Structures are given as structure tokens and as C-alpha cells.
Amino acid sequence: MDNNTESIRERLLKRREELRQRASEASADLRHESDPLSADFAEQVTQRENDDVLGAISSSARAELLQVESALRRLASGRYTTCRVCAGDIEPERLAAVPYTDCCRACAESAGTGRMQAGRGAHR
Ligand SMILES: [Zn+2]
């Protein structure tokens, strides 16, 4: 493993820790472990709105966590810089910007357009 791969791995591991912590803090708050639901109705409404925000934080942290974990697996198997879609090389600057990406810029862009077209089609 070269120095570059090692520093990417450290970056991903650090990110994984942050995300794990964020996801578990958000779900601990959601369970009201340190903050039971108030008896006051107005207070409860505020708490439930807060729960929606926490739920969104928790699910986005979890989604990113899965991507980081898959990047770590690809790193371990030497496929980290290989595009999942076209099997070409992912641009180094793209990996620097999004260390857990699994496809090259061209594939990411065509996947993005594909989803938008599918979305428009569903409304027809
Ligand atoms: Zn590609």
C-alpha cells in the first residue's frame, strides 16, 4: 500500500468515525434518552419537529456511512480508483473532492441525467 492510499484510508476511517458518532448521537436524541417527551403539548410539538430534523441527519449520515464503508472495501481490494460503471479510472481530483465516490465524472453525470429523465417520465 503506497503513502497516497494510506492517507486516503486514514481520511475515510476518520470520516467513518465522525459519521458513526453523528448517526448514534442523533438516534440517541430521537429515543429521548436524556430528554423525555414533555407533558406540555406545545413543547411536544417542538420536540417532534426537532425529531424530524434529527431523523434527516441520522439517515443522511447513515447513507454517507455506507458509501464510506464501501470505499474502504474497494480500497482494500485495490478497486478504489476503478469506476463501478465503465471500469475506467476515476479522476484523482474527483476522488480528492469526494473520497467515497465509486464512479468517474462522466458516469456520475450520465447517471444524474438518467435519474432526472426517469423522474420526468414517471409524471407523464
Ligand atoms: Zn465511469
The 8-class DSSP code of residue 33 comes to S
Q: 91: CA distance to ligand 1 center in Å?
A: 10
Nearest to 71 by CA among 55, 59, 62, 82: 82
Question: How many Å lie between the centroid of ligand 1 and the Cα of residue 109?
Answer: 9
Contacts of 103 (CB under 8 A, 6+ apart): 83, 84, 85, 86, 90, 111
- pLDDT tens readout for residues 1-48: 567 888 889 999 999 999 999 988 888 888 887 777 788 888 888 888
Q: For residue 5, what is its C-alpha cell?
A: 492510499
CA 92 to chain centre: 20
Grid cell, residue 60, equals 443522511
Give bridge partners of residue 89 from the DSSP assignment: 82
Ligand 1 centroid vs 110 CA: distance in angstroms? Answer: 9
Q: How close is the Cα of 27 to the center of ligand 1, in Å?
A: 35
In the reported structure, the alpha carbon of residue 122 is separated from the centroid of ligand 1 by a whole-number distance in angstroms of 26
Query: 77-111: per-residue pLDDT in tens?
Result: 999 999 999 999 999 999 988 899 999 999 999 98
Q: Which helix (H) or strand (E) holds 90?
A: none
